[in-house]
Amino acid sequence: MTIEPSQARTVYRPAVLPPKPEPVTLKPKITHEADAALIRARTHRAWGFTASTASGTDANAKRNQDAQARRTALILRVMDLLKSGPATAAEMRAALGETQAQLCNALTQAKAQGLIDYSRWGRGARWHINTEGRQ
């Protein structure tokens, strides 16, 4: 049997598609806490933190003690400067050669202890030794 070219037709037969697979929920191989511990250990090895005290609360306590000692020394220098009369923070910074942050911390702590006080002066403040409210 032969097919004449005028009678030939293309028959479309769609391929049978396999069924869709079930969705897969990905689960980590280790927990989040275990992963964080591995990262922490790797970082400590890379940065040389071999002992737990090198990066723990002991080191922070030592740094806090050092900062407190520097702040106390600065408060004494500020008190010596204020014996000659009231001064602004900018004048004290220029005379003492300290940064604004260090001086601000020292002034705040000295004011909390009742050693010094300030009075408004224009847009700023003039600091002076507190004579009436000393604790």
Which phi and psi (to 5°) does residue 58 adopt? Answer: -65, -45
Task: List the beta bridge partners of residue 124.
Answer: 121
State CA 134 to chain mean position distance.
Answer: 36
Task: List the beta bridge partners of residue 126.
Answer: 88, 119
Per-residue pLDDT averaged across 91-120, rounded?
91
Fold classification of 70-130 is: Arc Repressor Mutant, subunit A (1.10.10)
Per-residue pLDDT averaged across 104-113, rounded?
92
Q: Give pLDDT, residue 12.
A: 78
pLDDT in tens, 37-76: 999 888 888 887 765 555 566 778 888 888 999 999 999 9
CA 36/CA 100 separation, integer angstroms:
38
Mean pLDDT value across the chain: 85
Pairing assessment for the beta strands 116-121 and 124-129 based on DSSP bridges:
antiparallel
CA 116/CA 26 separation, integer angstroms:
63
Per-residue pLDDT averaged across 5-34, rounded?
84
Q: Would the pTM of this model clear 0.85, i.e. be above it?
A: no
Residue 88: closest CA among 110, 73, 103 = 103
In the chain, the percentage of residues whose pLDDT exceeds 90 is: 39
